[in-house]
Amino acid sequence: MALFNTLINFLKLSSLVVIIGSTITIGAIVAPIVFKSLAREEAGKLMIDVFGRYDAWLNIAVIILLISSLLKFFLLDKMLLSPQSLISLALVLIIVSISFYSIYVLSPQILTAYEAHAENFQSLHVLSEKIHKMNFLLGLIVLIFT
């Protein structure tokens, strides 16, 4: 059982590292460099490719986070109804919901708006930034609880 516990904790922590780390990497490092180095049109095209790959990794990390968190909550937590366990699981469920909304609803809308040069592109982009910042903060809180 100790090995199983270690594996579940490793998967949960690894998925949180991917979620938190990729958010920092893209938001604080990649995007500013790309938009500073390339023309706006080229930078936009490159960031579409970056976010396509990011969404794929985020999807995997979120699924691993969900499964490992559920296993930890139902099988490994000694005090199932402790406030820490309940808060951590609730935050994970929020992260999963926000991530799936971002991947399957918001990203396609942003891509469509970008390609059509639609007026709502900027507001969708701002919403996406807010969502990623929220997931980053929630991920940090879950990491602290883990």
Percent of the chain residues past pLDDT 70, beyond the cut: 98
The residue-averaged pLDDT of 87-115 equals: 95
* Confidence check: pLDDT of 105 > 90: yes
78 confidence band (pLDDT: 50, 70, 90): low
Number of domains in the chain: 1
Looking up tokens 């794929």 gives 56
Give the residue numbers spanning the domain of 27. 2-145
pLDDT at 80 (0 to 100): 64
Specify the range with the lowest mean pLDDT, choosing from 15-19, 24-28, 30-34, 82-86.
Answer: 82-86
pTM given for the model: 0.91
Question: Are 134 and 127 within 8 A, CB to CB?
Answer: no
Q: Is the dihedral of CA 13, 62, 72, 84 positive or negative?
A: positive
